[in-house]
Amino acid sequence: MSALLKEERVISHLLDATLAQKGIRDSDDFIIDVFQEHKKSYKLNRFRYTIKGAKKFQFDYIKSEISLPYFYQENCEYELVLAHANNSLKNNADSRYLLRTIGKAPFRLNGNWCFEAFIERGDIVDIGFNRIHFPKNLIVADGDLLNLVPAEMIESNLNIVIQGETGTGKTTLARKIHDASGVAGEFVHLNLSSFSAGLLESELFGHVKGAFTGAFTNKKGAFVQAHRGTLFLDEIDSLPKEVQTKLLLFLENFEVRPVGGEISQKVQLRLIFASGRDLKKLAEDEIIRSDFYYRLMAGYDLKLPSLADNKQAIKEFCKKFEKDEMVIISDELISYYEKMCWPGNIRQLKSHLAKKKLLAQGKKIVFNKFDEALTLNESAHNNNYTARSLEQIKYDYCMRAYFKMGKNIKKTSKSLEISENTLRMILKKNDPLRAENIININN
């Protein structure tokens, strides 16, 4: 067997042991912090890089060589090579970069001396006085929920509390935090409101066979299932007080003892809590224990804005929907959506647009009967809607009539039995830019 084949098999064996981790791959980013120079960002797009000690920094794209200022011995040399699993030479999802020493000098990986190691996202490599960062993939699109969470908080083990109305994206954000954190364990989602108080303890902590009627086998609880991963406890505001006490004890030592069991097990996980109600007010009203509230707030607290408080997000989401679904939403319709309250927030807006796209006759999404029904639905289900001003209600009514009349000012004013100038004044007062466009089109 040739030396090259032996080496490839060794790399494949080492790689198989690391597939559960999230190592850096082709197209990932890395940052070189050169001694006494500015940081430089690059993207991994070569099979092999050579890293050498030299008198000054240089990056040779042709030879894929990186020269770093090194003061002890300039002949030190390393290589960053893309290794492939299963003896396959084609780049696939199982590929990982391996950093190893070619010369005699080791490198420091996260503070420890190494001669060879697979590089994971988040690792820091020190070569002399130079540092190479392999950041976790936190590059997200504008308007993404993950932008609301500091990168340092994502990378930490601190618990996170996400508060927000229904449909604001609490579950989506929790999943994004887990994916961006790079932990090896799985993401476990448990909606606490869907279980009775009697079953909830078993769902969280597990149980042993015979612990109660119906416990025919041993059961792992959510804490054990999420070991080395993330446990997302949704609707934490619905947790009964007796279970709050037991969860509070768990948060002190992270030890789990199943129902009916005698042996405790230590677990390591990141906890993310979500609540649709204001936890501070619930603590003041003694619906949740005050000590439990303060324990939750010891981590990072984040409140997601509703669409009623963030009208710009409506337009941003509509534009993103256009791009993702390859459709066109009329500007008038987007502006109309910005006037609505959307009690179901992003979830409601997404479902509404998906329904309109499905029933649309072409690629363009325009005002129709489904949009007209929005006002009636909000009036029936959203208390905030009834508190709107008379001017806003008048605008909504005139706008619906304007759309139904084919966006014709003359026909709309005649139908409403008001003058054309009065109609223009109503529209202009609430939305000057769009009203001016309407006036220009109809004149």
Give the pLDDT of residue 125: 92
Q: Determine contact, residues 288/295, Cβ cutoff 8 Å.
A: no
Give the pLDDT of residue 70: 82
User: How confident is the model over 214-270, as pLDDT tens digits?
Assistant: 778 888 889 999 999 999 999 999 999 989 999 999 998 899 988 888 888 899 999
- Angle formed at CA 226 by CA 221 and CA 227, multiple of 5 degrees: 105
127-136, 323-332, 380-389, range with greatest mean pLDDT: 323-332
CA torsion 340-341-347-353 (nearest 10°) is: -10
Q: Is 193 helix (H, G, I), strand (E, B) or coil?
A: helix
* Residue of higher predicted confidence among 172 and 436: 172
Q: What backbone phi and psi angles, to 5 degrees, belong to 219?
A: -135, 130
> 3-133 and 145-303: same fold?
no
Give the pLDDT of residue 235: 94
Element counts in the chain: helices (H) and strands (E): 17, 23
Q: What is the DSSP string of 127-150?
A: ETTEEEE--------TT-GGGGS-
Give the pLDDT of residue 389: 66
Give the pLDDT of residue 15: 40
Give the pLDDT of residue 87: 45
Give the pLDDT of residue 21: 42
Measure the CA–CA gap between 333 and 286, rounded to whole angstroms.
44
* 142: pLDDT strictly greater than 70: no
Q: Determine contact, residues 203/195, Cβ cutoff 8 Å.
A: yes
* 436: pLDDT strictly greater than 70: no
Give the pLDDT of residue 128: 85
Tokens of 173: 């954000």
3-133 CATH choice from 2.60.200.20, 3.40.120.10, 2.60.120.10, 3.40.50.150: 2.60.200.20
What percent of the chain stands above pLDDT 70? 82
User: How confident is the model over 304-355, as pLDDT tens digits?
Assistant: 888 887 788 888 889 889 988 889 998 888 888 888 888 889 889 999 999 9
Q: Determine contact, residues 308/292, Cβ cutoff 8 Å.
A: no
Give the pLDDT of residue 152: 79
Tokens of 18: 């690391």
Residue 422: CB partners within 8 Å, gap ≥ 6?
A: 413
Measure the CA–CA gap between 379 and 341, rounded to whole angstroms.
10
Tokens of 290: 């005050």
Give the pLDDT of residue 175: 92
91-105, 138-152, 232-246, 403-417, range with greatest mean pLDDT: 232-246
pLDDT grade for 18, boundaries at 50, 70 and 90: very low
The CATH code for residues 145-303 is: 3.40.50.300
Domain range annotation of the chain: 3-133, 145-303, 311-442
State the chain's mean pLDDT as an integer.
Answer: 80
Question: Looking at the whole model, is its pTM more than 0.85?
Answer: no
